[in-house]
Amino acid sequence: MTDNHKGWHELLAYALLGYRTTARTSTREMPYLLVYGKETVIPTEVEIPSLRIIQEAELDNAEWVRARYEQLAMIDEKRMVTVCHSHLYRQRMARAFNKRVKTRLFQIGQLVLKRIFPHQDEYKGKFSPNWQGPYVIHKVLSE
């Protein structure tokens, strides 16, 4: 491992391999598996073959093609399960976030602070303030 940051490009391939072969919390699956329909073979397994690699190496071409076709047929099912799980995960995260949100009701004539975001027309240059003091509510927008 290098102490300085000059050799980061040498370790990038290992970092990407680790990222792509680690199961995500939101999907319960590895990104590599969802894309290719097959678990990854890490470089160590090439040098020191695991049982999975040995069994796959002993298959003849017709059996390997059949096994691969079955894996690819199951990939759509895995993707659908992943979509369902990520939807449930998103709902759980939203529920946890919404527990801390305090709803506020504003009445007509009440003073509030108005923020100006960069994508609005009222933005005037790089150093302009992001608020212009109190703003009186003239009309309540329906939800």
Task: Give the range of the structural domain holding residue 13, as residue numbers without chain letter.
Answer: 8-99
Mean pLDDT (the chain, rounded):
76
Strand partners, 134: 113
3-class DSSP state of 122: coil
* Model-wide pTM > 0.75: no
Q: Which residue has the higher pLDDT, 138 or 114?
A: 114
Same domain, 82 and 115: no
Residue 122, pLDDT above cutoff 60: no
Burial zone of 26 (CB within 10 Å; 0-12 exposed, 13-18 middle, 19+ buried): middle
Distance CA 131, CA 117 (A): 9
Distance CA 26, CA 94 (A): 13
What pLDDT digit, counting tens, does each position of 92-103 carry? 999 999 998 888
pLDDT for the residue 96: 92
What pLDDT digit, counting tens, does each position of 126-143 carry? 656 555 555 556 555 554
pLDDT for the residue 19: 84
What pLDDT digit, counting tens, does each position of 18-67 carry? 888 888 888 888 888 888 877 777 777 767 777 777 777 777 888 878 88
Same domain, 94 and 42: yes
Q: How many domains does the chain have?
A: 2
Give the residue among 37, 19, 29 at the shortest CA–CA distance from 85.
29
Same domain, 122 and 56: no
Same domain, 72 and 123: no
Same domain, 42 and 89: yes
DSSP state of 98: H
